[in-house]
Amino acid sequence: MTATAEAPAPSMFERIGGTEGVRAVVDRFYDLMEHDSRYAALRAMHVEDLFPVRVSLTQFLSAWLGGPRDWFEARPGTCIMSMHRAMGITPDTAAQWVEAMSRAMANCRVEKALGSQMQQAFLRMAGAMMRA
Ligand code: HEM
């Protein structure tokens, strides 16, 4: 009798399409932020050149989803939550972030179950980022 080894379930990073999949979502997210006036308050919190944050969020989300950990390795001891608590995030700007990200995931055809899992996590993080 031969044992059939079951393939391990794909990680969230694999399900989103690896670094390219994450980059597509992040680029769409910042494109929406730049061009849709309903995210004007969120856009105004950011510096003019969004390129560095596009790179950084792509790396952060890749690590967060189980992929390469470059973001954490380049910033030992950095806490994303503490960093954001200093930004004066309001319920409005938090809602804009979560909505733009949710649209970006849908536009990039992120698998529905994965998208809603990520959305729940972003909602919790955004809520905690507002608390000093
Ligand atoms: C709750 C609403 C949020 C607001 C209003 C917000 C706003 C910002 C702002 C203003 C920056 C600085 C960009 C710049 O320097 O111009 C930033 C950076 C960043 N944010 Fe957020 N953010 C939010 C939620 C999140 C969440 C949920 C995550 C992760 C899942 C995240 C990940 C990042 C990362 C990785 C950076 C770049 C950090 C760096 O390289 O220094 N943000 N965010």
Q: How many domains does the chain have?
A: 1
| Sequence-separated (6 or more) residues with CB below 8 Å from residue 6 | none
Who lines ligand 1 at CB under 6 A? 42, 45-47, 53, 56-57, 60, 80, 84, 87, 89, 93-94, 97, 122, 125-126, 129
pLDDT tens profile 84-126: 999 999 999 999 999 999 999 999 999 999 999 999 999 999 9
Model confidence at 3, in pLDDT bands (50, 70, 90)? low
With tokens 């001891």, the residue in question is 77
Please identify, by atom number, the ligand 1 atom nearest to the C-alpha of residue 60.
35
Residue 69 lies in a domain: yes
| pLDDT score at 131 | 76
Residue 120 lies in a domain: yes
Q: Give the Å distance between the CA of 11 and the centre of ligand 1.
A: 24
Structure tokens at 131: 């608390």
| Sequence-separated (6 or more) residues with CB below 8 Å from residue 75 | none
Structure tokens at 115: 């998208």
CA atoms of 96 and 77, how far apart (whole Å):
28
List the domain range (segments joined by +) for residue 73.
16-130
Which CATH number goes with the domain that contains 23? Answer: 1.10.490.10
Residue 6 lies in a domain: no
Which residue, by CA, sits nearest to atom 30 of ligand 1?
122
Please identify, by atom number, the ligand 1 atom nearest to the C-alpha of residue 46.
16
Higher pLDDT, 3 or 120: 120
Mean pLDDT computed over 126-130: 96
Residue 3 lies in a domain: no
Residue 97 lies in a domain: yes
Residue 48 lies in a domain: yes
DSSP for residue 46? S
Decide: 100 and 33 in contact? Cβ < 8 Å.
yes
CA 66, 67, 71: angle at the middle one, nearest 5?
Answer: 105
pTM of the model: 0.93
Residue 28 lies in a domain: yes
Residue 5 lies in a domain: no
Q: Give the Å distance between the CA of 84 and the centre of ligand 1.
A: 7
Q: Which amino acid is at 100?
A: A
Q: Give the Å distance between the CA of 83 and the centre of ligand 1.
A: 8
Decide: 42 and 88 in contact? Cβ < 8 Å.
no
CA 4 to the chain's CA centroid: 37
Please identify, by atom number, the ligand 1 atom nearest to the C-alpha of residue 122.
27
